[in-house]
Amino acid sequence: MQNGFKTPETVAEIAAVFLSLTPVRDRMYKPRLQYWVDRLGATPLADLTPEDVDRVLAELETTPSNSGKPRSGPTINRYRMAMQSMIRFARQKRLLPRGWTSPFADIPQHEEHPGKVRFLSAEEEQRLMEAARLQTWVLLPLIIRLAIVTGLRRGALLGLRWGDVVLDTDAPHVRVERTKNGDAHVSPITPDLVAEFRRMRRVRTMEDDLIFVGNRENVPHDFRHSFTEACKLAGLEGVTFHTLRHTSCSRLAQAGVDILAIAEHAGHRTLAMTRRYSHLCIKGRAKTINNVFAGA
């Protein structure tokens, strides 16, 4: 106990502190963590055992979700990740004993089945950009192109301020102070984006002003309707704004960029999410191999 405040120890206490100090954009994150709190909340986190974890995971596997359907392996992995994120927080805040072993350490995850990743071809991107220029929100083409070049998520893009855009340098870039993973991230940008940022910035715009706004200053614009209409006009099916992030990573893979570099580009903390693009690397890797070893 410090200064009259009890140090959080139980799963419920640490979860409450974690959620109060950690920005969470995934709307399903809190309910998933709450699932653990409801079952293990009174247990001191340091006393949690693999048997406790295994019991909750078994319940997730055998009981239906609110929709009445069984949970898939990847969905159960998301529940697991919610609890493990809280454990990482507890380690960082020294709320766990030194040398403490996580009860998840020897419990394997379910196999992920990412399926086919939808991404835009260069021709589809051109059609989408042309359709975006016909929408009423003038910044739609800029945010689409920026998403494709940087691979940044919608939330990160909407949080960009003019002070985060660095143009007068040999390596122009945008800087995101905090991504979904909680880390700072720098994304290089292309000359066409540099020119467009310079064209779009108004004289009176301040460094702290948000970039992607509508009629209300410093309020991120909800452009979902405009994006949907642009996709319809371009004749694109199965495309969401997140498809642009897949497009960014997929094109790097097709160009032969290695998985580690793609993970850095996308801000993935682990390679599990990046491996969905690995099959696209084959052509680029074959070209690299031929360039290096042909005639050797």
Q: Is the pTM of this model over 0.85?
A: no
Spans of all domains in the chain: 11-92, 122-291
Q: Would you state the pLDDT for residue 263?
A: 86
pLDDT at residue 280 above 80? no
What sign does the dihedral 104-77-181-86 (CA atoms) show?
negative
Enumerate the β-bridge partners of residue 176.
Answer: 185
Confidence grade of residue 175 (pLDDT, cut at 50, 70, 90): very high
pLDDT digits (tens, 9 = 90+) for 72-94: 888 899 999 999 999 999 999 99
For the chain, the maximum distance between any two Cα atoms, rounded to a whole number of angstroms, is 75
pLDDT digits (tens, 9 = 90+) for 103-149: 998 888 877 665 567 899 999 999 999 999 999 999 999 999 999 99
Confidence grade of residue 209 (pLDDT, cut at 50, 70, 90): very high
Under 8 Å between Cβ of 252 and 265 = yes
Per the prediction, the chain carries an average pLDDT of 87
> What is the CB-side half-sphere exposure of residue 269 using CA atoms within 13 A?
8
What CATH number does the domain located at 122-291 have? 1.10.443.10
Structure tokens at 226: 């405009």
